[in-house]
Structure 1
């Protein structure tokens, strides 16, 4: 359709219209094949099945036929012939094979409609049936928009060109509306996002794309006619108004977003508003550091000091979350016994403590009275009795904001930790294809198990199995159970696939263990320690980050790398099993000893 409508735009501007009319036939000829391909894809999306070989060849044959018709239209006169006379509305004349192409076009369109009727008969939900009903009446848009009807009427363009142009304009508007409905009907198939997200993205795409583009095109054709009114040269006026239109359109869309969302989410506006507010207010590790730094800078200005820091406790060692001034000096003060005592005390107070030229204040969780960290300022702040009331109020307000930020961030990490395991399940729920496995023929089963490690989802399967290492559906129902290396271990584990997979995963983790004595803070041991602490020992993210003396954001990045390494090792082990049992070779494959005994015990519940 893009090719056909591009030709319609160009034709009034050129003299060699016959060449452009023939060029349009590339798009016209491909529409029947595209109909068959598109409607078959919709049917398969509804059925959740793989296509049969026979249908693949039928669609390939349709595309081949369309290419042949396009070549005949471009280079011969057997399908279409040159115009008999120059007409205001240009159109080619029918050739000997035009009737054959018309029959092919009609059959493909009717066949596509019948396929959509089959798809509609297979759906069981009211929403899916409604969308396919929309698709049934809108899918004829390509046929209505591109078929050369004037060829069927001799002299159709010359008899009444004004009427033809009016009818064509009305048809183009209707085709545009039908294409939007068509896109809406099929936009939900094969995507992982919820329906509300797809609907919103489609609506805003139409506003920011076709609507703005249509306004700009209207300006391009209108500005030369109002030159005298504007009092500007046409090029200057056009440039100014086009830029202004594009910018103002984005501003208006942004300002109208609440009303648009209220229209799109009529029945769930309250929940959507809450989700948007949650997204805007969530705080990352970088956000926390920046916020604490802003609070620290303000406190330094209020107390008229030039140095300070905020430190949060860790299982291994405390970490500086924000620093103003000399970072090395802050680390030295942080290492002092008195500072460490304040940082780790279980009975924090709200008083300022003098430590080596700094005043140190504990950050206290007001709900649990737990010590969350310390804030230190160089030199002495005025004593409470020497401060004016306004200054004391400002200092307490800033300290309270720092405490709330740290407290909220810790709560958010707990929420993230709870949500992280269910995210893959949410994606599977949205992608219906993943919920219904394809039926694999017996002769293809062996080939499928060999290709398992090459699937793009393989690393995600490994991550899911590790997440449920000590029990859960991502382990007991994992596709990794079909690996040869897992089946070979069944006899060793009483024919329990879950225990066999757990043993294989543990062996793959052992391949990541470097030689020598285990270290908790060296980079060489980092990946293995993450795998052992997080998955084998079942520790929480915060505990692992503290034990390894790294930030939580860094831990998530390294965790992805560690899981990818385990997936790579499993793929090598599977390939070795397929090739006769040769051990995989890798930078850490020379170490085969079992890890610390603590990691072989299930985590406490």
Structure 2
């Protein structure tokens, strides 16, 4: 009976140790892939790597390797055991720095000394018996304390106590209840991996760690370590995150259920199916693959069903859930431009089949530059022809907006937007639908005319939706960058002020967010929330430009953008295809003159994907220029240097001169 119990406990120990490896490795990858640039995430990654290294050896030993490999693995296990105290101190120092108390050099030097000391202990354990001795005990090998093990024990205790004290100091610096609670979780949860990796087996008589009581205590300790790793993952996931707390919780919940939970269920199936099938007299190896696949599929099905309910119970309030549900419905109902073009092409194909022609098209005439949106067939009209005869088409539709008209080798019908009203006078011409003329005269039969009106109505709705979606996306491009309450900015109210304060605007610390602000302002250069609601209005150089722009904030920001764009202009004569002029030409054509990608790409001899890549590079360079202009202004103010009425700019100020155009006049110049 005792042998059966021991076998069960050994199997349980193997399962739990493997689960710890899965959990620690998963959390390590989760933190590093999300917050690699955050110091707390990197320090916690070292701690989780120590846990993983320690328990990987425990799992490997249960595979019954050879005696020499067994001994080598036990000594290499000190990679995790030896570096754990230094990792604990490193994490506590990172937490303290996050709350506004960075090291002035002393803690940094102590951390380096601890890593050096840990390396010494690792070398002693790997290549000598001064720290540990390995004694054979039946099929096992027992680890015994060497002469220097008390020194390591003292080092471990002191490092862990100092780390605990540092986290206590960090907790006292938290100003909000939530951050104090999370820091409290972290303060005690981070002790568990350290205690779980400490080699307590060297302190008991040889062989007792393999007894029934020893195995039972080890299993209980492993369960506690798994639970504490979960508690450790929760507060750590908030550090360095740039999304709201709600999103952090949802991402962590989804990751735990779809990642570590799936892995542990698959592992448990592998470990327990074979013994169970032997008891039931089934062929275990043949049944195992089907059992693993069945468990994984059923768990994923359960996760898909239960996640919405768990998120609603554990994360959201009722009001939050309703608001987010509306936003999710919006994202599901919005179609991309490619989706809408696909619908138009399907509609045109159906029209061609019914009217027995091989070409049809839909053109957008709402802009000064007509666009061929969708086509079917080989004989489509050219964009140049549409641009040259746009006025004639408008006059043709104005004479009779309900008829089919002959135009070159096509029969065309006007398309109207009905969002402005229900009457024909309130409708706005947005485009036209054309089909290949099958005869010199329009000879549509009554049923063909009726079906053509159906296709026209579908095209009107689709083209109208495309315009509406473009407006929604344009508004989002301007508004989303202004929603900047990230975890980074929240730290200013969650923790006490640090030793030093920065004089730079807060969003300078987040370059990615600043670039998004600049991008939104450029997209709404001639008006829109990206310009009028931009956080760039807080810049000192923008405030100074108010006096030169009739106290109009939007015009002041536009003038700063124009000067920054001019600073990208190379010296010499402008060339459209010259590489050194490419970035300036993109900024000037795409945002100041509002030219479309399909117009700019051939002028600059670029493919459209290459144009988008270089446009992103140009925006980043422009953001760096604005940051430099702001810092130079602050430096002059601090030094009391007199300043001219306007910051110097390089090259002629063509875009700056165009700022005199009022938004109402500029509206006609906007592209899509």
Structure 2 length-normalised TM: 0.70
2:461 is the counterpart of 1:404:
yes
SS in 2 for 1:431: helix
Match of residue 157, structure 1, among 203, 208, 220: 208
Q: Cα distance, 1:430 vs. partner?
A: 3.6
Distance 1:94 1:308 in 2: 86
Distance 1:312 1:566 in 2: 33
2:653 is the counterpart of 1:601:
no
Q: Cα distance, 1:162 vs. partner?
A: 2.0
1:319 counterpart residue number: 371
Distance 1:424 1:438 in 2: 26
Report Cα offsets for 1:181-234 as digits up to 9, x if no partner.
Answer: 211112011111222222122112112221111122122223433557999865
2:180 counterpart residue number: 129
Match of residue 651, structure 2, among 586, 589, 592: 592
Q: 1:200 touches 1:264 (CA, 8 Å); kept in 2?
A: no
1:509 counterpart residue number: 565
Cα separation, partners in 2 of 1:7 and 1:441, compared to 1, 3 Å? closer
2:447 counterpart residue number: 387
SS in 1 for 2:434: strand
Cα separation, partners in 2 of 1:108 and 1:474, compared to 1, 3 Å? same
Q: 2:82 touches 2:118 (CA, 8 Å); kept in 1?
A: yes
Q: Cα distance, 1:40 vs. partner?
A: 2.1
1:560 counterpart residue number: 616
1:363 counterpart residue number: 415
Report Cα offsets for 1:533-554 as digits up to 9, x if no partner.
Answer: 77668xxxxx653995789x98
1:23 counterpart residue number: 76
Match of residue 218, structure 1, among 258, 268, 281: 268
SS in 1 for 2:335: coil
Residue correspondence of structure 1 range 135-534 to structure 2 within 5 A? 135-155=186-206, 157=208, 161-225=211-275, 234-267=284-317, 268-313=320-365, 315-326=367-378, 328-329=380-381, 331=383, 334=386, 337=389, 341-342=393-394, 349-368=401-420, 369-379=427-437, 386-387=446-447, 392=450, 396-427=453-484, 429-432=486-489, 459=515, 463=519, 474-478=535-539, 506-510=562-566, 528=584, 531-532=587-588
Q: Cα distance, 1:50 vs. partner?
A: 3.7
Distance 2:208 2:107 in 1: 40
348-357 vs 282-291, which moves further? 348-357
Distance 2:660 2:87 in 1: 58
Distance 1:118 1:213 in 2: 37
Cα separation, partners in 2 of 1:39 and 1:466, compared to 1, 3 Å? same
Distance 2:100 2:350 in 1: 59
SS in 1 for 2:483: helix
Unaligned 5+ segments in structure 1 are 538-542, 579-589
State the structure with bigger RCO (CA 8 A, min sep 6), 1 or 2.
Answer: 2
Report Cα offsets for 1:482-537 as digits up to 9, x if no partner.
Answer: xxxx99x9xx99xxxx9999877544423556877999x99999865664477668
Residue correspondence of structure 1 range 78-117 to structure 2 within 5 A? 78-83=130-135, 85-86=136-137, 90-117=141-168
Match of residue 65, structure 1, among 99, 103, 117: 117
96-105 vs 344-353, which moves further? 344-353
SS in 2 for 1:91: strand
Distance 1:51 1:297 in 2: 69
Distance 2:65 2:478 in 1: 61
SS in 2 for 1:170: helix
Distance 2:235 2:399 in 1: 61
Report Cα offsets for 1:443-488 as digits up to 9, x if no partner.
Answer: x99xx99xx999777755754776798877644544989xxxx99x
Distance 1:477 1:61 in 2: 44
Match of residue 36, structure 1, among 74, 89, 92: 89
Q: Cα distance, 1:38 vs. partner?
A: 1.1
SS in 2 for 1:309: strand
Q: Cα distance, 1:34 vs. partner?
A: 1.0
Q: 1:347 touches 1:370 (CA, 8 Å); kept in 2?
A: no
Q: 1:190 touches 1:432 (CA, 8 Å); kept in 2?
A: no
Report Cα offsets for 1:382-426 as digits up to 9, x if no partner.
Answer: 9887218xx94x655554443333323322332333332343343
SS in 2 for 1:291: helix
Distance 1:385 1:265 in 2: 61
Report Cα offsets for 1:317-355 as digits up to 9, x if no partner.
Answer: 311111100155465874684895149967984543333
Distance 2:102 2:165 in 1: 19
Report Cα offsets for 1:64-108 as digits up to 9, x if no partner.
Answer: 11111111111111211122x405664311112212211222222
Structure 1 length-normalised TM: 0.77
1:54 counterpart residue number: 106
201-210 vs 468-477, which moves further? 468-477
Q: Cα distance, 1:56 vs. partner?
A: 1.2
562-571 vs 357-366, which moves further? 562-571
Q: 2:54 touches 2:77 (CA, 8 Å); kept in 1?
A: yes
285-294 vs 240-249, which moves further? 240-249
Distance 2:223 2:395 in 1: 70
Report Cα offsets for 1:220-272 as digits up to 9, x if no partner.
Answer: 22343355799986544333433444445434433444334333444122122
